[in-house]
Structure 1
Amino acid sequence: MDPSAVVTPPYVGGPFALAPFHGLMLAPRRIGDPASARVLARPYDTVPERLRSWEASGQLLRDEQAALYLHEYTAGGITVRGLVGALDVSRRAAGPGEAVVLPHEGIHPAQADELADRMTQMQLNPAPILLVHHGRDETRRLLSELRSEAPVHDFTDRARQQHRIWAIRDPDRLATLTAELAGTRALIADGHHRYSAYLRLQRRAPGTAYDRGLAMLVDQDDTPLFLGAIHRLLAGSRFEDVRAAAETVGIGFAELTHTAAVEALGPDTLVATDQQRWAALAVPSRVGRLAVEALHEQLVPALPRGPHRIDYLHSAEEALAAAGTGTGTAVLVPAPPVDTVLGIVAAGRLLPQKATSFQPKPSVGVLIRSLLDG
C-alpha cells in the first residue's frame, strides 16, 4: 500500500459505551505548561517510569477509584462540557449504518500504526479523542444535578483554560448513563488517527485494556464546540489557473473587489485570491454536499498548473498572508454545519482532509488513562 494513501477507518459497532477508569491528571500547576510535554516525549518506553517519578513528587495525581468524569473547560469565552470515559471499541460494524462512532475524514495507516506503537510503549491513552452528539434530556438533567455538587477539581491552568471536574461513581448514576448513552451515534470531532490507533491496538490484543480507548463525549446541543473552517493555499497555482478550472467544471467565477468577495463567502460560495485579485466561486448547490467537497473533487483536479501542495490554514488571516502571485492562490472555505457533516458520514461518505476545525480543545494532561489499570 502507498504509505501516503488515505483510507477509511473501521467502524465501531454498538451499543455505545463509556466505562469508568482510573483517571491520571498532571498537577494543575503543570497543565498548560509547555515544559510539561517532556513527560510524554521520546523515548516513549521510559514514559511509565517518568510518570511514577512525577507521581512520587506530587506532579501527577492518580484517582484510586475508577469513575466516569464530567469535564467542563472554558477557553476563549467558550465553555464546553463532556463525559470522559473509556470508549468500548471491541465491536466492529459492517458499515456506517450500524456504526456508533462516525469518522468524517480518512486516515494515513502509517500514522495510525505509529500512534498505536507509541501508546503501547507509553502504556497510556495520553488524551481523549473528542466526540460530539445530540444528547438526551435525561442525560442533561442528570449532569445538571451533578454540577450542583462540588467538583473534585476546580482550577485555571497555565494556558488560562478554566477547568472543573466531577467524578461519577454512584452505581445508580452510572447505570442511568449507560442506558442513556447506549443508543448514541457520535461524530469524531478531533482525533481520527488516535481513534484508528485504538482499533489497531484492540485487534492486536483483544480482551485486554486495549478493548477501550479514552474519549470525551460532548453534547453539541448543550455546550457546543465551535465548528470553523480550515482554509487552503493552492501552492504554485495562479489566480488564472483557478479561473480556468472553474470554467472547465462549471463553477461560477465572478471577479470582485476584496470587500465584495469576502461578503460573498457562504455555504455554496468559495473565495479565491492572490492578494491582488479576488473572486467568488459559486459551487452548484446540491443537498448534502459541502463547498469544500467541490473544491477537492472538481476544482483542484481541473487546475492546469499545480498545486505543488495544499497548505491548510486555520484562520482567514493566515491564508491571506500566505497568498501571493509568487506563492499561490488562497481559497477561503465556509464553515460546515454539524448536522450536514453528520448526514454525510452517516451516508458512508468522508470529507476531504481537514474539512473541519472543532474548537476549543482541552489542554493536554487534564485526564489521562493508564493502560496498566485495565
Structure 2
Amino acid sequence: MGVDIRPFRAWVLAPERLRGLADRHATPWDRVDVENSVRLLDEWKRLEVLAREERPAMYVYEQTGPLGVQRGVISAVHLDSRLLPHEDVAPAHTDAMVELMRAGRMSMPPILLGYGGTDRTAAQLDTAVRQRPLTELRTPDGQQHRVWRLTERSTCGEIIDALHERAALIADGHHRHVAARRFRREVHAAGYGRGPWDYIPALLVDTKRSPMRLRPVHRVLPHVDPWKALAAAQQWFQITALAGPLEEWLDVLRARSYHGAAFIVATPDRAFLLDRPNVEFLQGPCERFPESLRSMHISVLQAFLDVVAESPVLYEPSAPRALHAVRELGGIAAIAFPPSHLDLSAAAATGVRLPVKSTAFGPDPHPALVLRALPSPRRA
C-alpha cells in the first residue's frame, strides 16, 4: 500500500469573521495552555469563524505570493499509509499534542506530505482552481491562500487511486504524526475499534509541480558559556573568526559547506566558522549517527551541541532573528544550512532519523483553513 486517503467532513475557516489581520494566520491551539485552546476552539465554532461542511470532501489548497507557490490536496490519510519520516521528535512536544487531541477532540493542522504525482492528478487540480474558491484570504506576509471543495466521486477516485501507488515524505508534521499514532493506540487500547482516529489530516503536494523549498532551522542556546563551547571546539574543528555583516558570514559558510560539514557559532558580539571536523570527532561524539549520516553537517552540528549544551535549545528559522535572540539572551547561536533533498531522501529510505528540527519546508501552508474534528469514540 502507498498512501491511503479519503474525503472527510471538515470545518472550514470563514476569514471574514476573524477580528483582524493578526488573527488571520492563527490556530486555536496553544501547546502551553490546553484549557485555553479548547475554549478558543469552542468560541470559533460558536461565532461561526469555523463553519462545518455538510458532507465529506477533499480540498484543493493553493497559496501564491512573494514567499512562493504551493498547491496540493487536503484529505484524511490513514496512519498505516507509507509515510516516510526523516527526523526525530521531542517527546514533550508530542505529549502536549496528544493532550490537546484528548481535550479538544480536534486534529492538529494538516501535516505536509510530498509525493511524486501524475499528469492526471495535476490536471484535476488545474480544473479545480479555475472555479470560484470556497474560501480565501491574504495574510500579512503577502501570501494569498485559497481553497476549493472536491466532491465529485470520479475526481476524488482518480486522486485516491493515484496516491495508493505512491509513498509520501513527511515534510512537516513529524510531531503531529507521532501524536496521532499515540492517540490512536490509546483509543484502541480502550476497546474501541477502527474509526476516524485511524486517519490524520494532511496536505499532499505534488513535488514535481510544486517543488518544496528547503529552509534551515537555526539553534539558540541562551545558557551556554560561549567561550567554554569554543574552547571545546578547538580540539575537533578548524575555527575561523568572521567579520562583516551576516550576509558575508553566510557566503563564507556556503563556500566551506561544499567541502564538508560546516556551521557558524555566534556569540553576542563575535562569530566563528567551525568546519573540517577531525577523525576523533567523527568517531567519538558523532558515533551515535549511522555511518552514512555521520559526516552530514546537521549531524555534526547536533553532536557538537550535545557535548556543549546542558540547557533547552530554541529553534529559529530566521538567521537574523537567531542573532538578535543571542544578543538579547546571551549564550550562542548555531547557524547552518539545511540538509539537501538527497540527504532527506536517503534518511527516509533507510529509516534513519535526522536530529529534531533539522530543516523546514516552505512556503508554510496556512494552518487553519481546513480542519478536521475527532468525534467521541464509540465501542465497535
The TM-score normalised by the length of structure 1 is 0.79
SS at match of 2:122: helix
Q: Equivalent residue for 2:305?
A: 300
Question: Alignment partner for residue 361 of structure 1, among 359, 364, 372?
Answer: 364
Cα shift readout 1:195-214 (whole Å, capped 9, x = no counterpart): 12211222223401111111
SS of the residue aligned with 1:323? helix
Hey, what does 1:151 align to over in structure 2? 133
Is the counterpart of residue 316 in structure 1 residue 319 in structure 2? Answer: yes
| The one of 67, 73, 81 aligned to 2:57 | 67
Structure 1 pair 257/221, CA: closer, same or farther in 2 (3 Å)? same
Which structure has more strand as a fraction of its residues? 1
Q: Which runs of 5+ in 1 are unaligned?
A: 1-13, 92-98
Quick one: which amino acid aligns to residue 270 of structure 1? F
What are the superposed Cα offsets for residues 193-238 of structure 1, whole Å, 9 maximum, x if unpaired? 2212211222223401111111111223322343211112343445
Comparing 130-139 with 211-220, which one deviates more in the overlay? 130-139
| Partner AA of 1:316 in structure 2 | A
Q: Which residue is equivalent to 1:340?
A: 343
State the partner residue of 1:270. 263
Counterpart-to-counterpart distance in 2, 1:195 and 1:183: 21
> Which deviates more, 78-87 or 338-347?
338-347
Could you tell me how far 1:324 is from its partner in structure 2? 5.4
**In 2, Cα distance between the equivalents of 1:101 and 1:218?**
13
Name the CA distance, whole Å, in 2 between partners of 1:38 and 1:67: 21
In the alignment, the residues of structure 2 paired with residue 278 and residue 128 of structure 1 have an alpha-carbon distance, to the nearest angstrom, of 38
CA distance in 1, matches of 2:38, 2:333: 42
Q: Distance in 1 between matches of 2:178 and 2:355?
A: 17
SS at 2:69's partner residue?
strand
Which whole-Å deviations, capped at 9, do the CAs of 1:234-291 have from their partners, x for residues lacking one?
4344554344333323x32223434654321134321223254432222459975531
TM-score normalized by the length of structure 2: 0.78
Aligned counterpart in structure 2 of residue 233 of structure 1, from 220, 224, 234: 220
Given that 2:145 and 2:366 are in contact with CA atoms closer than 8 Å, whether structure 1 keeps it comes out as no
Contact 2:218 2:336 in 1 (8 A): yes
Identity of aligned residues (%): 27
Residue 254 of structure 1 aligns with which residue? 240
- CA distance in structure 1 between the partners assigned to 2:274 and 2:300 by the alignment: 10
Give 3-state SS (helix, strand or coil) of 2:154's partner.
helix
- Shift of residue 51, structure 1, vs aligned partner: 5.4
Q: 1:217 to 1:280 in 2, by over 3 A?
A: same
Shift of 1:44: 5.8
The Cα offsets for residues 48-89 of structure 1, whole Å up to 9 and x where unpaired, read as 75455334xxx3322212111111123544221121001111
1:328 maps to which residue? 331
TM superposition shift of 1:333: 0.6
Change (3 A) 1:114 1:300: closer
Question: Structure 2 regions of 5+ residues with no counterpart?
Answer: 283-290
Alignment deviations for residues 291-313 of structure 1 (CA, whole Å, 9 cap, x no partner): 1210112x23444xx55443322
Indicate which of 20, 30, 37 corresponds to 2:7: 20
* Aligned match for 2:71, one of 62, 78, 81: 81
Q: CA deviation at 1:122?
A: 2.1
Residue 287 of structure 2 is matched in structure 1 by: none
2:162 match: 180
The residue number in structure 1 matching 2:113 is 131
The 3-state SS of whatever aligns with 1:233 is strand
Could you tell me whether the CA contact under 8 Å between 2:115 and 2:166 is conserved in 1? yes
Aligned to 2:352: 349
- Residues matched between the structures, number: 346
- The answer on 1:29 being equivalent to 2:16 is yes
Does the aligned pair in 1 maintain the 2:107–2:373 contact within 8 Å? yes
Q: 1:265 is paired with a residue of what secondary structure?
A: helix
Task: Give the distance between the partners of 1:262 and 1:48, measured in 2 at CA.
Answer: 42
